[in-house]
């Protein structure tokens, strides 16, 4: 049975006339009558009874109309939903982010702006370290991730840089430099134990800390390691050492911990939107498009406006 037969049948039933239905449908009456005969042969029953002033439904026609009257609307709705899904305007997007990225204003801004642009897309969120997020992207358990990129990230991933920020010192509140309300010299921390995240958990921040200390002319004395930003700050608050963290972490107010800017800090860590290079997901494409536009317009917190679009391309 063809959809046009259903449409023709319903038009005649509503108009009570082949002539008026033909005018409404924009076709000649003889072809319309012929198509209804085809439909009646397929069903095996007469659907209309001719009257002097038009037609009326037979009992078989009435039963058929009751059963299929909603079909055109269902087809139209199905078509609309299919087009929305094909355009990435519905469905699901699986987003991962690291703990330090979550504390940056960039991450909630990205998700909020996408949500506003595509309210019918369900957002599922996962938090993990950058290494685990990269693995989840490769295994197609995530669509995108907001993470701290590093040179060791898999080649199968593309990364769009969203923002960069300098490192700041996280100090115990009892540290002698904690009372100085001004940027400090990193070399002044050379005798303090440094609390690192293990490199196999957070490559980007681990290596950035080492480079920053090397630039200051010393090798940091290792203190206890911690896999999460919350545990690093807790160890700092317990006076077990100092650490270097992204500037956005200074938004966290943890009793016993203070943050200080560092003089001439050239080392910066980035936040990037990562995704599989081979992805064909329209939802991912839409998320990237939103991010490129808001970055171009300077709508992301802490991100300057750009005339050009981005290039393709509580864990750490």
pTM value is: 0.70
The pLDDT value given to residue 310: 33
Decide: residue 45, CB within 10 A, 0-12 exposed, 13-18 middle, 19+ buried: middle
The pLDDT value given to residue 304: 45
* pLDDT tens sequence across 61-81: 999 999 988 888 888 888 887
| CA–CA separation, 46 and 57 (whole Å) | 9
Better-predicted residue by pLDDT, 122 or 293: 122
Mean pLDDT taken over the chain: 87
| CA–CA separation, 275 and 291 (whole Å) | 13
With bands split at pLDDT 50, 70 and 90, how would you rate the model's confidence at 190?
very high
Closest CA to 127 of 151, 107, 112, 154: 107
- pLDDT score of 305 more than 80: no
Instruction: At 68, give phi and psi (nearest 5°).
Output: -115, 10
Q: Which domains are seen in the chain, by residue range?
A: 3-69 (1.10.10.10), 90-163+269-296 (3.40.190.10), 165-268 (3.40.190.10)
The pLDDT value given to residue 301: 56
């Amino acid at each position: 049975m063809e959809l046009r037969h259903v449409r023709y049948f319903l038009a005649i039933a509503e108009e009570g006339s082949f002539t008026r239905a033909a005018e409404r449908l924009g076709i000649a009456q003889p072809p319309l009558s012929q198509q209804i005969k085809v439909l009646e042969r397929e069903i095996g029953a007469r659907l209309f009874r001719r009257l002097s002033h038009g037609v009326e439904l037979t009992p078989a026609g009435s039963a058929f109309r009751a059963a299929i009257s909603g079909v055109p609307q269902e087809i139209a709705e199905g078509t609309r939903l299919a087009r929305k899904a094909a355009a990435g305007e519905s469905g699901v997007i699986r987003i991962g982010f690291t703990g330090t990225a979550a504390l940056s204003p960039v991450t909630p801004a990205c998700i909020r702006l996408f949500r506003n642009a595509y309210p019918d897309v369900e957002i599922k969120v996962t938090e993990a370290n950058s290494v685990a997020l990269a693995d989840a992207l490769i295994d197609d358990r995530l669509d995108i991730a907001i993470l701290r990129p590093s040179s060791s990230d898999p080649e199968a991933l593309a990364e769009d840089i969203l923002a960069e920020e300098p490192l700041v010192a996280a100090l115990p509140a009892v540290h002698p430099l904690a009372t100085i309300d001004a940027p400090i010299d990193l070399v002044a921390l050379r005798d303090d134990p440094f609390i690192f995240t293990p490199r196999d958990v957070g490559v980007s921040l681990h290596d950035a800390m080492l480079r920053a200390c090397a630039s200051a002319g010393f090798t940091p004395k290792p203190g206890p390691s911690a896999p999460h930003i919350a545990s690093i700050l807790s160890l700092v608050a317990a006076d077990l050492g100092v650490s270097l963290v992204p500037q956005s972490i200074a938004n966290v107010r943890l009793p016993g911990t203070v943050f200080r800017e560092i003089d001439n800090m050239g080392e910066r860590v980035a936040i990037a939107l990562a995704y599989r290079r081979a992805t064909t997901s329209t939802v991912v494409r839409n998320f990237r498009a939103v991010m490129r536009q808001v970055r171009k317009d300077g709508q992301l917190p802490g991100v300057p406006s750009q005339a050009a679009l981005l290039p393709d391309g509580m864990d750490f």
